[in-house]
Structure 1
């Protein structure tokens, strides 16, 4: 095992299958602690996601949305690769800058900021920050005269997993031009336009609409004497299998840039979160209890009362890694870590470990019969999971087990100043 910071990272000689590696860990008493849940974190997968971004959107600088997952190794690897960072608070700014990332690689992308946090951003020379209202301009003018403000407009995919424009963004036609004039009157420097179509975008055309508004507003801003050098395309990029693939979204964005910003010298950035964080993290949880019940108790259909069903309790739940079910509208799908001898399946419910009946992970799931001590495997568990997890009821968060191939260590990571 090699050491990266305070976190041990396993260096493997050849390419590995994450699920098989999880099996090895679950059965190796030297690697896993009794029956505790754990996450296998593939650093190779982080790098693969970064390379995919550079392949599909080479003209756009990714600024990782730190709120998605603040895991220190993930942040340090992305810093090593040259990512920028989207921060929304004082704590997130410090998390990133304490790895050695310079202030020009951060955007304080919260349109409604705490006053002391604005002062802290000035102290750390973080200049790029967003706004969508006149009150924020007045606040920033007093506390951070060196700020480079980016106007956030409301252009949304209403079918996105998590629409955001109810809370943030101004009307791009009726309000945005007024805010540009207000910034001019207050002497606040505006340097660009930002938008966020919603987390988990389903309709890629929202990006085209937003970029057209951005073009129009850049022209208005330039009329006030602002340089308008930055276009921030926010997030919404999927992190795993999704109704609308990343490749499709990237194609729409490339075509829109060619149409509205051909041969531009503007700095194009975006704020992907789950795109980088979701796939590298795989959760392995242990079944701490199993009980046979009438199938009707699970299906709520008395006609099924003659068949057996099973209720399983695992040592992670909605107060832990599965908080994404409540907060992110995501429903993770898992299965047994090890192949089972029987093909017979029973209607099953997967519960979390707490004493709260809200702690439901999966319901009415067809699955083979399992026993106490068996393991469940959930892939794509890095986005909006551990970042908002708690230790409610005294249940610990999963342990992190970081792995990478020797080739990645030698070629990408070993000599980086961010490690």
Structure 2
């Protein structure tokens, strides 16, 4: 169980006759470098985390700590700082913990968003744990969602209409492509264009790209560089689409992307060139 408020903890305790359970107290962790801040909705303050750890222990349950440094974290410092916060909390609480969940946020590369390699994150987390006396024996948990799956899918969309430098395609923010909007244009997908099976390689132009729904907001928030001779009927392949695309798609206006083709291979297509 994970809690960040005493009312939640008391509800958990009321529902469980047994006490041989682990309760993670989620601590707020501020990281201005994250693409999305995941501590605005969840996470207890320093003082509340201390109090909750003590109350978990007093209830006879096993206390543990959890945090989430945000989504798409590009530097390991965020995890180092959060682990140091854990040390500070434990020094005050005087409650030992056996487990710490460092959450997710492990990155994948997107155009213009170069991150440090995963090993740099793992090394920093491991070294910090070893250096902190109240953490060096804890069991670490992690939730590497995006890092595992982002390169595992491409999205193939068709150009329905071209009007000058505006393109209308058959998927958009109400379908598989909400992340560019949520990130205010910071996150972009690598792309390439096909006419039938031929890759278009003419000089790029910047296009405003709209989705298929009736909503005028259904457009990518940043111009997309695409071959200047792109036309209706051509296909745009967006890469690095494995994370938060299928899970966020909706049935709005009756459009719902649900045709899948499995391709065996180790490389993302197209590659996320920064």
Superposition TM-score, scaled by structure 1 size: 0.55
Spell out the pairing of 1:110-259 with structure 2 (5 A cutoff): 129-144=1-16, 145-146=18-19, 147-172=21-46, 174-185=47-58, 187-218=59-90, 223-224=94-95, 228-241=97-110, 242-245=113-116, 246-259=118-131
Cα distance, 1:324 vs. partner? 1.5
**What do residues 191-235 of structure 1 show as CA deviations (whole Å, max 9, x unaligned)?**
3111111111144222112212323444666x45xx621111111
Inter-partner Cα distance in structure 2 for 1:369 and 1:243: 29
Spell out the pairing of 1:9-88 with structure 2 (5 A cutoff): none
Inter-partner Cα distance in structure 2 for 1:198 and 1:380: 19
Cα distance, 1:141 vs. partner? 0.3
For 1:321, the equivalent position in structure 2 comes to 176
SS at match of 2:262: strand
Inter-partner Cα distance in structure 1 for 2:71 and 2:190: 19
For 2:209, the equivalent position in structure 1 comes to 350
Structure 2 unmatched runs, 5+? 266-274
**What do residues 381-415 of structure 1 show as CA deviations (whole Å, max 9, x unaligned)?**
1111110101211112141222336xxxxxxxxxx
What is the aligned counterpart of 1:268 among 137, 140, 155? Answer: 140
SS at match of 2:263: strand
Q: Where is the helix percentage greater, Structure 1 or Structure 2?
A: 1
Inter-partner Cα distance in structure 2 for 1:213 and 1:356: 44
Inter-partner Cα distance in structure 2 for 1:402 and 1:282: 10
Are 1:157 and 1:202, in contact at CA under 8 Å, matched by a contact in 2?
no
SS at match of 1:285: strand
Tell me, yes or no, if structure 1 residue 377 matches structure 2 residue 237: yes
For 2:161, the equivalent position in structure 1 comes to 289
Structure 1 residues 156, 203: closer, same or farther in 2, change over 3 A? farther
Are 2:151 and 2:239, in contact at CA under 8 Å, matched by a contact in 1?
yes
Inter-partner Cα distance in structure 2 for 1:230 and 1:283: 38
Q: Where is the strand percentage greater, Structure 1 or Structure 2?
A: 1
Inter-partner Cα distance in structure 2 for 1:201 and 1:351: 28
For 1:311, the equivalent position in structure 2 comes to 166
Structure 1 unmatched runs, 5+? 1-128, 293-309, 406-419
Inter-partner Cα distance in structure 2 for 1:202 and 1:275: 11
Are 1:141 and 1:188, in contact at CA under 8 Å, matched by a contact in 2?
no
Structure 1 residues 325, 332: closer, same or farther in 2, change over 3 A? same
Cα distance, 1:318 vs. partner? 0.6
Number of aligned residues: 254
Tell me, yes or no, if structure 1 residue 334 matches structure 2 residue 203: no
Cα distance, 1:142 vs. partner? 0.6
Structure 1 residues 208, 400: closer, same or farther in 2, change over 3 A? same
Structure 1 residues 239, 180: closer, same or farther in 2, change over 3 A? same
Inter-partner Cα distance in structure 1 for 2:76 and 2:141: 17
Structure 1 residues 312, 398: closer, same or farther in 2, change over 3 A? farther
For 1:365, the equivalent position in structure 2 comes to 224
Tell me, yes or no, if structure 1 residue 280 matches structure 2 residue 132: no
Structure 1 residues 261, 320: closer, same or farther in 2, change over 3 A? farther
Cα distance, 1:178 vs. partner? 1.6
Are 2:27 and 2:43, in contact at CA under 8 Å, matched by a contact in 1?
yes
